[in-house]
Structure 1
Amino acid sequence: MLRPQAARWLEVLCSRRDGVRTVATLAATGALEVELRRAAPTEQPLRHLAAGLAEYERLHARYGRYWERGRLRQSPLVGSPDALLDLTLGRLGAWRREADPLIVALQADEEELAHLRWLTKIIAHLTAGQLDYRLVSECGPVLATSCAILPREADPRLPASVIARRVPWDDQQCLLILGPAAGIAAAKRQVQAVKGRIIERPAWLRGDATEAGLQLRARCQALATGIVHRYAELDALFEDFALGDVLGEVAWLAWFARHVGALERAGDQLVWITGWTDDPHGGALIDALAHSQTRALLRLAEPPPAVRAPQILVNPRWLRPFELFTRALGAPDADEADPTPILAVVVPLLFGYMFGDLGQGLVLALLGGWLDRRFRGRRETARPLARLILVCGLASMAFGVLFGSLFGREDLIPALWLHPLDEPVRVLAVPLAFGVGLLSLGQVLAGFGAERGGEFGRWLRLDAGLLLVYLGLLGWLLHPGAAWLVWPGLAWYLVGALTLSGRWSVRLAALGELVERALQLLVNTLSFARIGAFALAHAALSAAIVTMAAAAPAGAGLAILIAGNLVIIALEGLVVSIQTTRLVLFEFFNRFLHGGGRVFRPLPPPPAMVGVA
Structure 2
Amino acid sequence: MQWRETLSPIRMDRVAVIAPADRTRDALEEVARSAAVELELPYTPGDGPEEIDRAAGAAVQNGAVTGLVGWAPSRRVPELQQALNPLGAGVVPLKAPRGVQPPTLLTGNEHRTRQAPKFSRLLVDTYTTVPYADVDPARLAGLAYVVMFGMMFGDAGQGLLLVLAGLIVRSGRIAKIRRFQRTWLFIFGAGLAAVFFGVLYGEFFGPTHVIPVLWLEPVENPIPLLIAALIFGAVLLAFAFTLGTINRVREGGWGYALYARTGLAGALLFLAVGMLAGGLVAGWTPMIVAAAVLALLALVLIFTGLFVEAGGGGTGTMQASVELVDTVIQLASNLVSFTRLAAFGLTHAALMSIVWQGTTALWHPDWRAVLAVLVFLVGNAITFALEGLVAAIQALRLEYYELFSRIFTDEGRPFKPWSPRLPESEASGSSTTERQTP
Question: Which of residues 2, 8, 13 is equivalent to 1:8?
Answer: 13
SS in 1 for 2:75: coil
Question: Which of residues 234, 253, 257 is equivalent to 2:49?
Answer: 253
Task: Give matches, 1:529-548, under 5 Å.
Answer: 529-548=339-358
Q: 2-side partners of 1:451 and 1:375: how far apart?
A: 47
Question: Which of residues 308, 330, 354 is equivalent to 2:128?
Answer: 330
Q: CA deviation at 1:536?
A: 0.7
Q: 1-side partners of 2:390 and 2:87: how far apart?
A: 55
1:578 is the counterpart of 2:393: yes
- After superposition, the C-alpha distances for 1:49-102 in whole angstroms (9 at most, x for unaligned) are xxxxxxxxxxxxxxxxxxxxxxxxxxxxxxxxxxxxxxxxxxxxxxxxxxxxxx
Indicate if the aligned counterparts of 2:25 and 2:52 stay in contact, CA closer than 8 A.
no
- After superposition, the C-alpha distances for 1:360-419 in whole angstroms (9 at most, x for unaligned) are 12222222233334399xxx9944433322221222122222222222243111232222
SS in 2 for 1:520: helix
1:612 is the counterpart of 2:405: no
Q: CA deviation at 1:427?
A: 1.3
SS in 2 for 1:421: coil
SS in 2 for 1:301: strand
SS in 1 for 2:127: coil
Q: CA deviation at 1:9?
A: 3.4
What is the aligned partner in structure 1 of residue 239 from structure 2? 441
Q: 2-side partners of 1:419 and 1:300: how far apart?
A: 65
* Alignment CA distance shift 1:286-1:301 (3 Å): closer
SS in 1 for 2:408: coil
Higher relative contact order (CA 8 A, sep 6+): 1
Indicate if the aligned counterparts of 2:243 and 2:407 stay in contact, CA closer than 8 A.
yes
Q: CA deviation at 1:563?
A: 3.1
Indicate if the aligned counterparts of 1:282 and 1:300 stay in contact, CA closer than 8 A.
no
* Alignment CA distance shift 1:271-1:458 (3 Å): closer
Question: Which of residues 336, 341, 353 is equivalent to 1:526?
Answer: 336
Indicate if the aligned counterparts of 2:27 and 2:87 stay in contact, CA closer than 8 A.
no
Indicate if the aligned counterparts of 1:9 and 1:277 stay in contact, CA closer than 8 A.
yes
Indicate if the aligned counterparts of 2:128 and 2:412 stay in contact, CA closer than 8 A.
yes
Indicate if the aligned counterparts of 2:201 and 2:218 stay in contact, CA closer than 8 A.
yes
What is the aligned partner in structure 2 of residue 367 from structure 1? 165
Indicate if the aligned counterparts of 2:131 and 2:410 stay in contact, CA closer than 8 A.
yes
The amino acid of 2:327's aligned partner reads R
- After superposition, the C-alpha distances for 1:143-169 in whole angstroms (9 at most, x for unaligned) are xxxxxxxxxxxxxxxxxxxxxxxxxxx
Indicate if the aligned counterparts of 2:166 and 2:184 stay in contact, CA closer than 8 A.
yes
Q: 2-side partners of 1:498 and 1:591: how far apart?
A: 17
Q: CA deviation at 1:525?
A: 0.9
- After superposition, the C-alpha distances for 1:568-609 in whole angstroms (9 at most, x for unaligned) are 332221211111110000011112313411222334663896
Indicate if the aligned counterparts of 1:375 and 1:383 stay in contact, CA closer than 8 A.
no
Q: TM-score, normalised by structure 1?
A: 0.55
Q: 1-side partners of 2:302 and 2:156: how far apart?
A: 52
* Alignment CA distance shift 1:407-1:507 (3 Å): same
Q: 2-side partners of 1:480 and 1:509: how far apart?
A: 37
Indicate if the aligned counterparts of 1:443 and 1:463 stay in contact, CA closer than 8 A.
yes
- After superposition, the C-alpha distances for 1:157-192 in whole angstroms (9 at most, x for unaligned) are xxxxxxxxxxxxxxxxxxxxxxxxxxxxxxxxxxxx
Task: Give matches, 1:453-602, under 5 Å.
Answer: 453-457=251-255, 459-460=257-258, 462-475=265-278, 483-493=288-298, 496=301, 513-550=323-360, 551-552=362-363, 553-602=368-417
Task: Give matches, 1:57-456, under 5 Å.
Answer: 253-254=49-50, 256=52, 263-266=58-61, 271-272=66-67, 274-278=69-73, 280-282=75-77, 289=83, 295=87, 297-299=89-91, 301-302=93-94, 304-306=96-98, 307-314=100-107, 321-374=119-172, 382-456=180-254
Q: CA deviation at 1:339?
A: 1.9
Q: CA deviation at 1:301?
A: 2.0
Kindly name which structure, 1 or 2, has the bigger radius of gyration based on alpha carbons: 1
The amino acid of 2:30's aligned partner reads T
* Alignment CA distance shift 1:390-1:21 (3 Å): same
Q: TM-score, normalised by structure 2?
A: 0.74
SS in 1 for 2:219: helix
Give unpaired runs (5+ residues) of structure 1: 47-250
Q: 2-side partners of 1:364 and 1:345: how far apart?
A: 16
Q: CA deviation at 1:539?
A: 1.0
Q: 2-side partners of 1:341 and 1:34: how far apart?
A: 30
The amino acid of 1:394's aligned partner reads L
* Alignment CA distance shift 1:253-1:521 (3 Å): same
Q: CA deviation at 1:312?
A: 2.7
* Alignment CA distance shift 1:17-1:339 (3 Å): closer
User: Bigger CA drift: 404-413 or 579-588?
Assistant: 404-413
* Alignment CA distance shift 1:253-1:494 (3 Å): closer
* Alignment CA distance shift 1:576-1:294 (3 Å): farther
* Alignment CA distance shift 1:33-1:568 (3 Å): farther
Q: 2-side partners of 1:315 and 1:356: how far apart?
A: 33
The amino acid of 2:14's aligned partner reads W
* Alignment CA distance shift 1:279-1:559 (3 Å): farther
- After superposition, the C-alpha distances for 1:457-505 in whole angstroms (9 at most, x for unaligned) are 3543643542344334544775776643542123423664798797575
- After superposition, the C-alpha distances for 1:422-448 in whole angstroms (9 at most, x for unaligned) are 211111111111112222332232221
Q: CA deviation at 1:348?
A: 1.7
- CA-based RMSD of the aligned residues comes to 4.0
Q: 2-side partners of 1:582 and 1:389: how far apart?
A: 18
How many pairs were matched up?
Answer: 392
Q: 2-side partners of 1:264 and 1:347: how far apart?
A: 47
Greater helix content: 2
Give unpaired runs (5+ residues) of structure 2: 260-264, 434-438
The amino acid of 2:75's aligned partner reads P
Identity %: 29
User: Bigger CA drift: 425-434 or 596-605?
Assistant: 596-605
Q: CA deviation at 1:357?
A: 1.7
Q: 2-side partners of 1:605 and 1:372: how far apart?
A: 33
The amino acid of 1:314's aligned partner reads T
Indicate if the aligned counterparts of 2:152 and 2:391 stay in contact, CA closer than 8 A.
yes
* Alignment CA distance shift 1:561-1:296 (3 Å): farther
Q: Which runs of 4+ in 1 moved over 6 A?
A: 497-502
SS in 2 for 1:275: strand
Q: 1-side partners of 2:303 and 2:369: how far apart?
A: 74
Q: 2-side partners of 1:262 and 1:272: how far apart?
A: 11
